[in-house]
Amino acid sequence: GFSGLIVDLRGNPGGLLSATVQAADEFLDSGTILIEVDAAGSRTTHVARKGSTVPDIPIVVLQDQSSASGSEVLAAALRDNGRATIVGTRSFGKGTVNQIQPLTGCGDPDGCGALYLSVGRWLAPGGEQIEGLGVVPDILVEMTFDEYVEQGDLQMFAAIDELRSQQ
């Protein structure tokens, strides 16, 4: 019985790639979710499967400068596949694939620490790089803390207005 959906990814630091792909797949029946490029340049394309569980209703994604990693991938996947409009500010720009490599051989049974290595990049469905650039919103709505206190959540208001304009 609802007529639109707002997905609020503001302040979302992302998460596991598998969870991001699964979430995007709930909204998409087809299309590319993301492209993963490894250090050798090999590409793996993650594609939506038929049978999304969310009806074909208007979606607005809210994002801000603290939306990172998986949340950026989700926002770009929904927008680039024609399922959502993004409202807010440019996202953080964290589109790397990382692995933890334990350091051993120091004689300590608990290990010597670890290296956090970037071993690839995530690209938006259209091939745009996310790392260092972020995802640019369709509707830019900047909001300071003072504006939020004095006028309310201007980004949420803009998202609601956008949903209303799509009906």
Distance CA 99, CA 132 (A): 19
Q: What is the pLDDT of residues 56-108, one digit of tens each?
A: 899 999 999 999 999 999 999 999 999 999 999 999 999 988 888 888 888 88
Active site annotation includes 94: yes
Active-site hit among 8, 71, 80, 91: 80
Whether the pLDDT of residue 21 is over 80: the answer is yes
- In the chain, the largest separation of any two C-alpha atoms, in whole Å, equals 65
Active site annotation includes 69: yes
Active-site hit among 69, 91, 146, 161: 69
Active-site hit among 94, 110, 138, 161: 94
| Contact between residue 125 and residue 31 where contact means Cβ atoms under 8 Å apart | yes
Residue 111 DSSP class: -
Whether the pLDDT of residue 48 is over 80: the answer is yes
Active site annotation includes 80: yes
| Contact between residue 46 and residue 71 where contact means Cβ atoms under 8 Å apart | no
> Any alpha helices (H) in the chain, and if so which ranges?
17-27, 70-80, 145-151, 154-165
Residue range 36-42: mean pLDDT, rounded: 93
Distance CA 162, CA 79 (A): 14
Whether the pLDDT of residue 137 is over 90: the answer is yes
Whether the pLDDT of residue 53 is over 90: the answer is no
Predicted TM-score of the model (pTM):
0.90
Distance CA 78, CA 6 (A): 12
Phi, psi of 68 (to 5 degrees): -140, 160
